[in-house]
Structures are given as C-alpha cells and as structure tokens.
A = this chain, B = another copy of it.
Amino acid sequence: MTTQSQGLHTHVLDTLGLEISSGQCPPGSVLRTDELAQRFDVSRTVVREVVRVLESMHLVESRRRVGVTVRPTETWNVYDPQVIRWRLAGSDRPRQLRSLTVLRSAIEPVAASLAARHATAAQCAELTERALGMVATSRGQQLEGYLEHDIAFHRIVLNASGNEMFARLGDVVAEVLAGRTHHQVMFEDPDPAAVTLHVRLAEAVREGDPEAAERITKEIAVGALHELDVLAP
C-alpha cells in the first residue's frame, strides 16, 4: 500500500519520511548518507536526492562535517500532502487529525460561502449529484463508496470557491477523510444528520445563498469535531 517499488528513490524517501515523522529518528538525531546508502543498499546518489527532498520539506538539515540532522517538528512543512500522509500513518494520528479538522472548520465555511457566489451550473449539478450519492451510500456498510462521494463533494466546494489556496486544500481534506474512514475504526454507518447537512449545503450553493452555505458548513465542521472527541483518546 505504501510503495509499489516504482523506483529506488521513492522507496527510500517513503521509508525515511515515515520514520522521521513517526517519531523514531527524533529531532536532533543525525543520519549519515553513507550509512543510509548501506542500509538501503543503494548508491549515495539516491540517498542524496532523498535527503534534498526531505530538506525541502524542512524535515532535515544537511550540514558539512556533521551529517543529516532531523529538524524540530515546528519547522516541518505540515501542509505538504506527503508529510500529512506520513504523519497520518504514523503514531500521533489523533493529534494530527484534530489539527487538520480545526483547520477545515476555519476554511471550509468561508470556501462554501464563496462557492455559493461563484459556482458554475456544472459545479452545482455535480455537487447535487455527489450529495445524492452520499445519501445512496449512507446505509448498509458502503463506507468506501460513501468516502468517495464525500471527498468529491468537498473538493467541488473548495474548487468552486474560486480561490486557489482553498482549492489546493482539496488534497488535505481528502487525506483527512480517508484517514478517518480507514485508520479510525468506523464500524457504523455515517451520521444521518451529516448526510442531510451535505444535501442542504448543495441546495444552498445552488440557490446562491452564501450565509446559509457558511452556516451549514460550520455545522458540518462542528459535527466532525464532535465525532473526533467521541472517538479519540
């Protein structure tokens, strides 16, 4: 699931990134390129490329004569979808999931409000379609199908906002929703109230009602936060 050996680089990057963001290799610990090359049985070239990428994510810092140092958590590029995936797969998933959900609760209402103003007819149509899809898959253990519609739904809202920064948060939301469904144990069907709210949000956007769209999205966010409180440690 993690990597299908589509290149040495990817494998080493994924492994190292996961190890760092999951807490082994704590901040301050040093790695040596030669050792890494030995450990993964690859050339130093590959390791160096990986280190450079990790460096661009501010996960590590490479200095002469000292080695590759793991940087403190506060400097990491936590908006990088790759980093998010690593952290969500790692140990402090609950904390991460909460941070991301709070972020969503700040962004998505505003995005929905903008979407109600700017959404095209096509976007409204697909939004409604996805909402109906969520209704259709909301019962009977069709979690995967529901997840797909849910992700698509929120992505459309974010795209329809017309703001590029919001739109690019679609991947983050997708990671959160997928993480919630897969990692969190989710035996039961989704909350019927949440499904209804999505349908009503689609309506509000279609009718061009920014205030309603914002209010409904806030309700969805509150529900998501509450859900986390119930299930988290």
By a beta-carbon cutoff of 8 Å, the part of chain A in contact with chain B is 9, 45, 48-50, 52-53, 55-57, 74, 76-82, 99-100, 102-103, 105-107, 109-111, 114, 163-168
Chain B residues, Cβ within 8 Å of A114: 102
- Considering the complex, give the chain B residue whose CB is closest to the CB of A54: B56
Q: List 20 A-B contacts (CB under 8 A).
A: A45-B45, A52-B52, A53-B53, A53-B56, A56-B80, A56-B82, A76-B168, A77-B79, A77-B80, A77-B81, A77-B168, A79-B168, A80-B80, A99-B164, A102-B110, A103-B107, A105-B110, A106-B106, A106-B109, A106-B111
By Cβ-Cβ distance, the 5 closest A-B pairs, closest first, are A79-B79, A106-B110, A103-B165, A53-B56, A49-B52
- Considering the complex, give the chain B residue whose CB is closest to the CB of A56: B53
Contact present for A165 and B53 (CB under 8 Å) = no
Chain B residues, Cβ within 8 Å of A52: 9, 49-50, 52-53
Distance, CA A48 to CA B48, complexed state (A): 10
Chain B residues, Cβ within 8 Å of A81: 77
Distance, CA A122 to CA B45, complexed state (A): 47
- Considering the complex, give the chain B residue whose CB is closest to the CB of A48: B49
- Considering the complex, give the chain B residue whose CB is closest to the CB of A57: B56
Chain B residues, Cβ within 8 Å of A79: 77, 79-80, 165, 168
Chain B residues, Cβ within 8 Å of A48: 45, 49
Q: How far is the CB of A77 from chain B (nearest CB, A)?
A: 6
Q: How far is the CB of A64 from chain B (nearest CB, A)?
A: 10
